[in-house]
Each structure stands twice: as C-alpha cells, then as structure tokens.
Amino acid sequence: MSLQKQIRDRAQQLTSLLSIQYPIIASPMMGVTTPAMVAAVSNAGGLGSLPCGVMTGDAITKAIAEVRALTDKPFAVNLRVPPREMPTAESTQMIFDALEPLREELGAKHEVATIPTFEEQFEAVLASDVPVVSFSFGGPREVFAEALEAKGTIMMGNVNSTREAKVMKVAGCQVIIAQGWEAGGPRQYFENPHEASQVGLMALLPPAVRVAQNVPVVAAGAIMSGQAMIASMMLGASGVQIGSLLLRSHESALWEAAKAQIAWADDATTRVIDRGTGRMTRVLETGLSQALADAELPTATYPGQLAALSSIYEAASAQNRIDLLEIPLGQGAQGAKALSTAAIMADLVEQYEQLLGE
C-alpha cells in the first residue's frame, strides 16, 4: 500500500467519524477562540472547537447558540476536568492578598473569582446536544461518559503521554488528541506529573497510535503547515489540531498589540510556567508572571491561581495592559498568519493536498 493511500485512509477514519471534510481540528483556546472562529473552521471543512474554560452554564449555552447561528456544520465543545486535588482557600487567598496594590492601580475588582463547577458546565453542554465534546486535564467520569453516549455524542480526550492515551481509550473517547511539548497553551497531563510529560510530538505519536489501536489519534503541537500535517500523519496520526496558526486570525479574540508581538516570536520565545493559572502552560511570559516569580510566592493549584488573578486579567484586558496578560503561544507560532480563519484553513488544506498528491 502506498504512503499516500495510508495517509488518506487514516484521514478518512477521522473525517467519517466526525462528519467533516478535512482531518483538521481547531484547538479550544480560552481567551482566543470566538464563536466566529469556531464556525469559520467548521464551514471550511474542519472541526471548530469552543472552549468552555471558566464560563458559566448560561454563557456556554449562549456561546453554543452563537456558533449554531453561524454554521450548520459539526463542531466541538471543550470541558476542563477538575484536578484530583483542588486548591486550598489559603493558597488562593495568599496570592490574592499579595496583589492588592496592583488591583488598586488598575481599579480592579477586589474579589476572588468564582469558578463554575464542572457539573454546571457539563449540564449546559449536555442540554445543548452538541455533536462532539472534548476533555482537557483528564477523562470523563463514568456517569458523564454514559450521559454523552446516550445522546450519541462523540468524545475526544487530550493527552501528553502514552499512559494517558490508554486511559482515554478505556474511558470511551473515540478520538485521542496527542499534545506534543511544542504546543502552546495549557499542558494536558493528568496521570503523569508535569516533569514526566515533556514529550515532543514526534516521540509521542508512534506509541500513542500503537496503544490507541483502532481509535484515531490527532497530532497537536507546532502544526503550522501542510508539511507538518503530512509529517504527523506519516507517523500514524489520523489528523491534526491547529492552535497557534489561528492566533493572529481576524476572528481571534487576542488584542491587536498581542497579535503584533507574535510576528516577532521565535522558537525560543515561550516558557512553560504555572504562575498564570496554576496549570503548567506554554506562554509568552509577561511582567506580572516575572514579578510573581521574583516575589517567590507559592503558586496555588489550578484553578485557584486563576481565581486569584482573574480580576487583574479582566482589568488589564480592558486597559490593553499586555504587560499583565499572558499570551498562549506554541514554539512554532512565528508562522501564524494575519488572515481570516477561512483563508488560513484554505491555505493549509491546499498545502496538504498538493504535498499528498493523487
């Protein structure tokens, strides 16, 4: 069997399952992805992904309705599984108290944010009858998986290691997204510690594909071109997930000053830190994160750190203080294009098809 046929057969496995035209999934990027971006990716033949992040149930319902007003194609909704060890109130309060002067300077709210529960978010997603749900930071508990299976919802799970790929397969996920060390945004580890989850995509894909067996694996991390798509699929992936490629798109919610900085990034620009949210995340580090490090304050476990910093992020965003806002950024982000999402998708598909040939 020719290499071209092997790749097309793998792609067909994914596209048939998800009812999409091309083996391309968009990453659900909190603070970046908009309903317009989700719809644009789906309308272009891929699978757009809506991040729930820290949204309330009502906000999730509204965002899903906005996506449906813009597309009749399939799309995914992403949920973040809560950590096994939740942050203590004391650790969150310590960070919050230390940032009192900065809140005064910004005129930010003097309150720790309330993070919606997973159960509230899940009920909103379940009631909305979305075609695909993806899970970050762990697999769904049996009761949640059974509820989605009863509705015929396709489940996707994100992993950083082969061990986690096994867990997601057992949990009933029909697609496994293998996130390499190159990827921007939050790391997906949940079975192994962060230190044991720093696996590059080229090393992660072959064993993940092996343990997944008949479950399609999607490659995530520095997928910025058709060449990267083909390289990933040569190693057994059935498709790819793109994130940083869309950061500068017209539909991206990133403020313009941040988009401009991305154009000057290189492969050594980013850092993987937990000071922004409590979760190890690949970002373009800012002054706020560096100040927290200099102060030697212990980081509260996710989502405690995020709850303590949320009012600062909200005020800084309104005032365009990019020195206080982390930018999720992958190691290949310098290839991001300032075009419409539709144009970025069309260019990626054209590269992929030309390289693959007949």
Q: How many helices (H) and strands (E) does the chain have?
A: 14, 12
DSSP annotation of 300 reads P
Architecture of domain 3-82+117-252+335-356: Alpha-Beta Barrel (3.20)
For residue range 179-199, list pLDDT tens digits in order.
999 999 999 999 999 999 999
In what order do the strands lie in the sheet containing 175-179? 24-26, 239-242, 217-220, 175-179, 154-159, 132-136, 75-80, 48-51
Classified as helix, coil or strand, 325 is coil
pLDDT at 1 over 80: no
Domain ranges in the chain are: 3-82+117-252+335-356
- H-run or E-run covering 145: helix 142-150
What span, in angstroms and rounded, lies between the C-alpha atoms of 301 and 201?
26
**To which residue do tokens 């033949």 refer?**
45
The three-class DSSP label of residue 156 is: strand
Residue-wise pLDDT tens digits, 97-126: 999 999 999 999 999 999 999 999 999 999
Beta strands in 116-269 (DSSP E): 132-136, 154-159, 175-179, 185-186, 217-220, 239-242
Write the pLDDT tens digit of every residue in 274-322. Answer: 999 999 999 988 888 888 888 888 899 999 999 999 999 999 988 988 8
Contact 244, 332 (CB under 8 A): yes
Pick the range with the lowest mean pLDDT from 198-207, 262-271, 340-349: 262-271
